[in-house]
Amino acid sequence: MTNAHGNLIDQWEDEVHTNAGLSPARKKEKATEKVWYLINSNCEVVNTAHAAQPNDTKEKAILTPIVASFVDSPAKVQLMLELDIGWEGAQLEGVVYLQRYKQTDKDKNRAQLWELFHTCIHEYIHSLADPKFQHYAATKDATRYNTLIEGFCDFFTENVRPTVAVTDALRARVEGPYYDSTKPPPAVSPGVYPSRKQAEQLVSICGIRNAESAYFKGRVELIGGP
């Protein structure tokens, strides 16, 4: 993946450009979708404490006006859009979108680049999901969709990350002009989606080979799909 090939894009620049072409109504719709996404993907503490199922009919009825309160003014809509502008990474139809942040010194930049490296693993594995698997996930509610898309991706991502051999050659490629052979590689703790736990539960039921076949080859019937 390279920027020159058109499949590695600056997330910030792309979102600013995309949002500039949206109508106020579409901006509000996009912001609303972001609120729902965050409820399903990033509210683990609240959801776990209350055994919440955000897409349950009764719970969704409670949450809907709360979601609306986050986008009931142009300023609030813009705030939600800015979360996407600054989002660490994304993948869509084989194109990966990443940030090009820089830090204030070489040590911090090394750590930033290793964070980016691990984000790249996650986003690349997104791009390997078979279209049939993606279609199957899209037939589910937002909570189950998050498990199948983000949870499964992180399940496979966390299988890959520990196998990476951090050699001097790899460090030089990852750290670029900030590489310093006299210093140890920075310790980073890349985040994972809470729905990885649900993905692990599903894999424990259907089996790792069936999970791999579903995600990478579209054999969704092996994990309960049609």
pLDDT in tens, 204-215: 999 999 999 999
Could you give the number of structural domains in the chain? 2
Residue 3 lies in a domain: no
Alpha-carbon separation of residue 95 from 32, 90, 92, 150, 153 (angstroms): 24, 8, 5, 16, 16
- Look-up of token digits 């509210």: 43
Residue 190 lies in a domain: yes
* 76-87 confidence digits (pLDDT tens): 999 999 999 999
Least confident range from 51-60, 130-139, 175-184: namely 51-60
Residue 104 lies in a domain: no
Q: Identify the domain boundary among 29, 62, 92.
A: 92
Check whether residue 86 and residue 136 sit in a common domain. no
Q: Identify the domain boundary among 47, 67, 92.
A: 92
Q: Identify the domain boundary among 34, 60, 92.
A: 92
Check whether residue 134 and residue 199 sit in a common domain. yes
